[in-house]
Chains A and B, each alone.
Chain A
Amino acid sequence: MTHDLSVEKIRQGFAQAGYICNPAIAMTMLLAYKLEKPVLVEGPPGVGKTELAKATATLLNYDLIRLQCYEGLDESKALYEWKYGKQLLYTQLLKEKLGDLLKGTHDLPSSIARLHEFGDIFYSEDFLEPRPLLQALRAEKGTVLLIDEIDKADHEFESFLLEMLSDYQISIPEIGTIKARHHPIVFLTSNNTRELSDALKRRCLHLYIPFPDAALERTIIQTRVPGVNEALREQLVGFVQQLRQLDLKKQPAISETIDWARTLLLLHTEALSAETVESTLNVLLKHEEDITSVKDDLRGLLAKLVQRK
C-alpha cells in the first residue's frame, strides 16, 4: 500500500489507527514520504504532535524510534557511545594474554607493530552502543524517527542534527560515515519555547497543527471515546471550544478533551450540568487561576451552549 499513497488513503489509514486529521496534515505526511524530507511539527501542547508520529508508524508498519530532547542532550545520548565499561573489562581480562601475543618480538618497535596488527579491535562496532539516531540509520527496515521537543535541546545539538536531516548520514570519527540503509521518516516536534535556527527549518517541511475545529474534534471524540452519546459529545466539544476563546493560562487541548470525555463517561453523565462540569473542571484546566475564573463564569458559558443549539 505504500507505493500508491494519496491524501485520502493516508487519512483513512490514520483514522484506522485512531488518529483523525485534517487534509493539511495528511498532505504533509504524503510529501514527507515522497520527498524523503523530515517534518517539523509545531503547535500548542496536546494537539497530537507526538501522536502523528505514532500513527504514521502504525500506518506504514514501521518501527517507531523516539528521542526525547532535553537541555544538555549530547551526541553520546543521542547518537552513540562507546561501551567504556566493556572496553575496560576486556583490557583487564586480556592483560594476561599480552605475554602470549607478544611472544617472538624482541624490541619495542616490533611489539608495537604486532599490536597494530590487531587494529582497532576496541573501537569496532562490537563496542558501540547505538543510541536512537544510530538505531534509526542502521535499522533493517524503514523506521519512523521521532525527535521530540527539539526546542528543549541546545543549539549545538540542533546544528549537529543538520547532517542527519539533510543527508541521512552521520559521521563517527573512529569508524567513519554511516549512511542510512533506509531513509527514516523523521518527525521533529517543537513547542516553540525558543526560535529554531533557519538552517534547520530550511531542511524540514513545516506543519503547524492548530486546535481542531468543532466538527473535527467531535469526530476525534467519536473515535477515541466511542461510548459517549451524540448529544453529550456535541455539548462537551462545544464547551471546550468556548473555553479556548477565553483568556486562559493554558488552553485545554485535544488530549484534555479526550480525558474529560472519558471522565464524563465514567460518571455516567447524560448531559452537561453546572455541577458535573464544576466537579470535573480540573481534568480540563491545569491551573488554579483558570479553574477559578471559569467557575465564576460557568453558568453563562453553559447557557450560551444551550442557546446555540
Chain B
Amino acid sequence: MDRILVDFIKALRGTGVRTSTAETLDAVAAVKIVGYSNRDYLKSALATTLAKTEDDHQKFNLCFDQFFSFNALDSYGEKQPAQKPPESTAARLLQSLRPQPPAPAQSQSPLGQMLMQGNPQQVAVALAQAGAAANVNQIRVLTQKGLYGRRMMLQMGLAEMEQEMWNAEQSTDPQQQQLAQNLREAREQLREEVRQYVERQLLLQAAGESRALRESIMLETRLDNLREFKDVQILVRKLAKRLLATHSRRRKVFQRGKLDVRTTIRRNIAYGGVLLETHWKTKKVDRPKVMAICDVSGSVSQYAKFLLMFLYSLTDVLKNVRAFAFSSDLVEVTQLFEQYDLNDAVDATLKRVGGGSTDYGRSLQTFADLCLNEVDNRTTVIMLGDARNNYGEPRTELLRQLHARSRQLIWLNPENRSRWGSGDSEMKRYRPYCTWAEPVQSLAQLERFISHLLRYNH
C-alpha cells in the first residue's frame, strides 16, 4: 500500500504543496499506526503530517477527496452480495414475468468471486493495486484513458473471468446461465469503476503535472516571449514570497539596555574581577539598501513590464528599496509602488515615463542630482536596462562616481552578452564601472540573481 501513498504524495505535490522526503516518511509511519480502515482517521493523520499551512490544508483536502474517493465503491457494500446492480425498468419487468430464477452457480475465477461478494474495501484495494501495477499514475492525456483502463482490468484477472463467463453461456444448465448473466453485469460495473478510477487519476496527475510543467517552462522562457501575463504575475509573486520567506530573517535586532554578563566579566578580568566596564548586548544585522533604476524606453518595451514587475516585487521583499524609472528622463516611482497594486503601479509608471527615446546620460545626471548624496557604502545600485543610448553621450563618469560611492553597482541587461557593445549599445563602456554585469533573460535568472544579492549583501 505504500506505493499508493507515494502516488498520493506525488499528486499532492502537483497541486503545489511542498512535501519533503522526511514528511513522506512521517506520513508512512503515521499510516502504519492508523491504517487504511477508517477514512476520516487516515485523512487527519495524513493532513497533520503533510500539510503544514492553512493554504496547504485546503489543497490537501481537495486532493485527498479526489484521490481516495471510496464513495464510488461504497455502492458494493450497501447491497447484499446476491443483489445485482440497478437494472432498467424493462429488464425488471422481464424478470418478474419469468418464473423464479434458479440460484446461480458459484463463480470459480478469483475476480468473479470478489465482485460477487461485493466487499467495497476489497474492491477498492484491488482497484488501487491494479492501478499501481498498470502505472496509471503515468497517464498524461485524455486519449490514454481506454488503454490504461484495459490494462487495469487485465491486471485484475478479467481474462479468466471472461473465459468463465463464455463457458457458462455455452452451457444449457439454467444455473450456469444465471451465473453468466451475473458475471456480465459484474463486468459492466467493474468497467465503470475502472473508468472512473482512471479519470480521477488523469485529473490528479495530469492537472498537477501540467501546472508544474508550465511554471517550470515559464521560469526558463525568455522574458520577451512571455505572453501569458496573468500566470507570470502569479509566478513573480511566488518568487517574491519565496525570497521574503528565506530572507526576512535578516532582520535588525537591537537589544538595548541588556547586560551581556559573560562578556562583561571577561572584559573585567584585567581589573581583577572588579566590574568597571560594562558590555551591552547589541546585535545589528543590516538590511541591504537598494536603489534600482529601470529602463522603460522603446528599445526594451518588451521587457519593461517584467522588469517593472520584478522591481515592484523587490520593493515588497526589501524594506529599503527606492525605485526609479526612465526613458528620456528619470523619475522616482517608489511612492507609486507603495500606493498602488502591481498592475496599476506598472501601468502608471509606463504612462509617466515609458516609451520615450532612451537617454542614459541625462537620466544618470538626474539620478545623481536627486540622490547621489544618499548613495553610501551600504547601498546597492541596480541598473535594469539594455544600455542602448541612441548614440547619445553615455556620461560614464557619472556611473564611475556611483560605483565609487556605492557598495556595489549591478547591471542587469536583458540582452545576451554577445550583443553588448554592438550598434548603439554602450554596455562595453559602462561595464568597467559595474561590480557585476549579468544578462538576465528569464525569470529564473532574475530570481537567482536577487537571491544572491540578498545573501551576500549585508
Contact = CB atoms under 8 A, between A and B. Distances in A.
Interface stretch (B22-30, B69-77, B293-301, B367-375): B22-30
Contact of A24 (B18, B34, B48, B262): B48
B44 interface: yes
A24 B245 contact: no
A88 interface: yes
Contacts of B171: none
Nearest to A27: B44
Interface in B46-68: 47-49, 51-54, 57
Interface residues on B, range: 20 to 34
A37 B265 contact: no
B30 A91 contact: no
Contact of A23 (B22, B44, B54, B265): B44
Interface residues on A, range: 35 or more
Contact of A31 (B30, B244, B255, B273): B30
Contacts of B30: 31, 35
A202 B20 contact: yes
Given A202-B20, A206-B51, A27 B249 contact: no
Interface in B210-243: none
Contact of B41 (A23, A154, A195): A23
B48 A28 contact: yes
B45 interface: yes
B352 to A, nearest CB: 34
B94 interface: no
B251 interface: yes
Contacts of B34: 27, 31
A7 interface: yes
B435 to A, nearest CB: 28
A91 B265 CA distance: 12
Contacts of B49: 31, 205-206
B33 interface: yes
Interface string A175-214: 0000000000000000000110110011111111000000
A37 B52 CA distance: 14
Contacts of A198: 18, 245
B40 interface: yes
A206 B26 contact: no
A197 B242 CA distance: 11
A141 interface: no
A211 to B, nearest CB: 13
A63 interface: no
Contact of B45 (A31, A42, A91, A202): A31
A72 B262 CA distance: 17
B57 A84 contact: no
A159 B41 CA distance: 32
Interface string A40-77: 10100000000000000000000000000000100000
B270 interface: no
Contact of A154 (B26, B48, B52, B253): B253
Contacts of B45: 27, 31
Given A30-B33, A31-B33, A84-B261, A205 B48 contact: yes
Nearest to B57: A208
B416 interface: no
B83 interface: no
A116 interface: no
B20 A24 contact: no
A34 interface: yes
Contacts of A72: 253, 255, 258
A155 interface: yes
A84 B265 contact: yes
A4 to B, nearest CB: 12
B248 interface: yes
A73 to B, nearest CB: 10
A203 to B, nearest CB: 8
Contacts of B47: 24, 206
Most buried by B among A27, A91, A195: A27
A84 B33 CA distance: 48
Nearest to A26: B44
A156 interface: yes
Interface in A1-52: 7, 23-24, 27-28, 30-31, 34-35, 37, 39-40, 42
Contacts of B253: 72, 154, 156
Contacts of B51: 206
Contact of B245 (A35, A88, A197, A207): A197
Nearest to A91: B273
Contacts of A7: 41
Nearest to B281: A74
A92 to B, nearest CB: 8
B29 A155 contact: no
A190 to B, nearest CB: 11
Given A30-B33, A195-B245, A208-B54, A202 B41 contact: no
A216 B282 CA distance: 49
A9 B253 CA distance: 46
Contacts of A195: 244-245, 248
Nearest to A42: B54
Given A27-B34, A84-B261, A205 B26 contact: yes
A35 to B, nearest CB: 6
A53 B61 CA distance: 26
Interface string A100-117: 000000000000000000
Interface of A: 7, 23-24, 27-28, 30-31, 34-35, 37, 39-40, 42, 72, 82, 84, 88, 91-92, 154-156, 159, 194-195, 197-198, 201-208
Given A39-B48, A88-B273, 20 more contacts: A27-B45, A28-B44, A30-B33, A35-B33, A40-B52, A82-B261, A84-B262, A155-B251, A156-B249, A156-B253, A195-B244, A197-B249, A198-B18, A202-B20, A205-B48, A206-B47, A206-B49, A206-B51, A208-B54, A208-B57
Interface of B: 18, 20, 22-23, 26, 29-30, 33-34, 40-41, 44-45, 47-49, 51-54, 57, 244-245, 248-249, 251, 253, 255, 258, 261-262, 265, 273
20 contacts: A23-B40, A27-B34, A27-B41, A30-B33, A31-B34, A31-B48, A35-B30, A88-B273, A154-B251, A154-B253, A155-B249, A156-B253, A194-B248, A195-B248, A202-B23, A202-B52, A203-B22, A205-B49, A206-B49, A206-B52
